[in-house]
């Protein structure tokens, strides 16, 4: 069975890149545009791994991750944070919110797939 990835990002550009990259790598991809939508689709999407942006309207990545971790069913799902901030502070906040790992933009397909494979069985 294909692994399912839920991506959460408000940028149409990045969403499309994620979609193309993940589909090419043989993942099934479900997309949401912000944290609120991410949480809304979470149950139905039932992903194996989540890739989320940090800066988003309505509910940002930190809030989204916290929301996912509160859900008993998903409290141990691997969550990767997509972020342009490579500085320690942002990583630290993401980590405290419960992120599993991160991928530093600019978006690089290889890095993305590597990171996903690192955190999934």
Partner 1 sequence: MDMNEIKEIFFQECEEQLAELESGLLKMNDGDRDPETVNAVFRAVHSIKGGAGAFGLDDLVAFAHVFETTLDCVRSNKLDPGPEVLKTMLKSADVLADLTAASRDGGTVDPSRTSVLVKELEALANGQVPAPTAEAPAPAPAPKAAAPAPKPAAAAATPKPTDESGFQPVPFSFDDFGGEEAEPAAIEIPLCDVIFKPRPELYSKGNEATLLLRDLSRIGEMSIYCDMDALPPLDQMDPEGAYFFWKIAIRTEKGEEGVRSVFEFAEWDCDLEVKVHEVSAEGSDEDELPMQPVPFDLSALDDTDEDHDHHEDHGDHHQEDIAAAIEAAKVATAVVSMAAAAPQAAPVQAAAVNKPAAPAPAAAGNAESSGSAGANPTIRVDLDRVDRLINLVGELVINQAMLSQSVIANETSGATTINTGLEELQQLTREIQDSVMAIRAQPVKPVFQRMSRIVREVADMVGKSVRLVTEGENTEVDKTVIDKLAEPLTHMIRNAVDHGLEMPEKREALGKNPEGTVKLSAKHRSGRIVIELSDDGAGINREKVRQKAIDNDLITSETNLSDEEIDNLIFHPGFSTADKITDVSGRGVGMDVVKRSIQALGGRINISSRPGQGSTFTMSLPLTLAVLDGMVVTVAGQTLVVPLTAIVETLQPEASAIHSFGASQRLISIRDSFCPLVDVGRILNFRSAQANPTDGVALLVESESGGQRALMVDAIQGQRQVVIKSLEANYTHVPGIAAATILGDGRVALILDVDAVVAASRGQALGGDGALAAAS
Is there binding between residue 59 and partner 1 (CB under 8 A)? no
Is there binding between residue 70 and partner 1 (CB under 8 A)? no
Q: Name the minimum Å distance from CB 110 to partner 1.
A: 9
Q: What CA–CA distance (Å, rounded) separates 34 from 52? A: 9
According to CB under 8 A, which residues from 79 to 98 bind partner 1? 79, 84, 86-88, 92, 95-96, 98
Is there binding between residue 17 and partner 1 (CB under 8 A)? yes
Judged by the rule CB under 8 A, the positions of this chain that interact with partner 1 are 4, 10-17, 19-20, 28-34, 36-37, 40-41, 43-46, 48, 55-58, 69, 72-79, 84, 86-88, 92, 95-96, 98-102, 104-108, 111, 118-121
């Amino acid at each position: 069975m294909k692994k399912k990835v839920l991506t959460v990002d408000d940028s149409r550009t990045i969403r499309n890149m994620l979609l193309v990259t993940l589909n090419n790598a043989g993942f099934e991809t479900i997309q949401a545009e912000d944290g609120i939508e991410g949480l809304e689709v979470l149950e139905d999407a039932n992903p194996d791994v989540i890739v989320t942006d940090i800066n988003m309207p309505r509910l940002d990545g930190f809030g989204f991750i916290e929301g996912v971790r509160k859900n008993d069913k998903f409290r141990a799902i691997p969550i990767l944070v997509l972020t342009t901030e490579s500085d320690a502070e942002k990583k630290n906040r993401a980590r405290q919110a419960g992120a599993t790992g991160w991928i530093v933009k600019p978006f690089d397909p290889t890095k993305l797939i590597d990171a996903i494979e690192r955190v999934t069985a």
